[in-house]
């Protein structure tokens, strides 16, 4: 893995790979599971499916839907909602291709300045990953929530079978954890700045950001449990 960049070429892809592409000027990345033959299964909220709550977050959700509306393979998926299957071109929507890394060391995990690119957790075998993705394509993955149940959460579950069974905190998504970690770091730094110089707040903020990212990773969370994909539908009904 190259620190800060997991960019790969199409001919390097293998079935079961967790892939992503950066959207909205690198503010947000859209994630999915490559299943072979230039096809990707991913979790999305399409255009016209805005929740009307936080407009900025709604725009990020919309950015996860394919931008092409005349694809001969996929048709018009701009208003698609939930777990869908798209060709690789529609999934990427003109952006670059990246590979999400599994089983990285804590040092490499923290060396990645941005969340949503790797995890300490290990991946399950390819056949399990593809089976989960195909099952969820037919049965769904609950309602889309940018903080607790987004496209990265979907892909991480397919790769690991791990779910966070709690209503407290964020889901499995590294990028959502990073957004919240930034908020925590800014608050801590601001409070520290009232009593010290600039150096102290900077160190405190950096430390808070790293700690928040680390403890939120699916590979170290104590509330992450293995859940059979066949039980997913019932779990989301309970929510």
Report the relative pairing of strands 39-45 and 28-36 from DSSP bridges.
Answer: antiparallel
H/E stretch holding 36 reads: strand 28-36
What are the backbone angles phi and psi of residue 98, rounded to the nearest 5°?
-130, 150
Q: Judge whether 30 counts as a catalytic residue.
A: yes
Buried-exposed string 79-118: b where 16+ CB fall within 10 A, e elsewhere:
ebbbbbbbbbbbbbbebebbbbbbebeeeebbebeebbbb
Per annotation, catalytic residue among 18, 31, 42, 68 = 42
Task: List the structure tokens of 233.
Answer: 């539908």
The answer to whether the beta carbons of residues 172 and 198 sit under 8 Å apart is no
Per annotation, catalytic residue among 74, 90, 118, 151 = 151
- Name residue 225's beta-bridge partners: 163
Per annotation, catalytic residue among 18, 30, 31, 68 = 30
Tell me how far apart the 2 most distant CA atoms of the chain are, in Å. Answer: 62
Q: Judge whether 42 counts as a catalytic residue.
A: yes
The answer to whether the beta carbons of residues 225 and 217 sit under 8 Å apart is no
Active site residues: 30, 42, 151
């Amino acid at each position: 893995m190259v620190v800060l960049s997991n960019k790969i070429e199409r001919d390097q892809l293998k079935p079961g790979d967790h892939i992503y592409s950066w959207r909205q000027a690198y503010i947000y990345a859209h994630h999915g599971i490559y299943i072979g033959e230039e096809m990707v299964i991913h979790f999305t909220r399409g255009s016209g499916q805005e929740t009307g709550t936080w407009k900025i977050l709604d725009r990020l959700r919309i950015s996860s839907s394919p931008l092409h509306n005349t694809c001969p393979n996929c048709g018009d998926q701009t208003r698609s909602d939930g777990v869908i299957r798209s060709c690789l071109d529609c999934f990427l929507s003109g952006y670059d291709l990246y590979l999400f890394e599994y089983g990285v060391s804590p040092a490499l995990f923290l060396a990645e300045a941005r969340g949503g690119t790797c995890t300490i957790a290990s991946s399950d075998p390819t056949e399990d990953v593809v089976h989960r993705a195909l099952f969820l394509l037919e049965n769904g993955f609950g309602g889309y929530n940018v903080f607790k149940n987004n496209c990265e959460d979907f892909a991480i579950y397919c790769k690991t079978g791990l779910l966070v069974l709690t209503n407290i905190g964020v889901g499995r998504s590294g990028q959502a954890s990073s957004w919240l970690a930034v908020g925590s770091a800014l608050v801590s730094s601001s409070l520290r700045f009232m009593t010290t110089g600039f150096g102290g707040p900077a160190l405190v903020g950096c430390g808070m950001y790293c700690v928040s990212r680390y403890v939120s990773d699916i590979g170290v969370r104590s509330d992450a449990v293995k859940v059979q994909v066949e039980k997913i539908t019932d779990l989301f009904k309970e929510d």
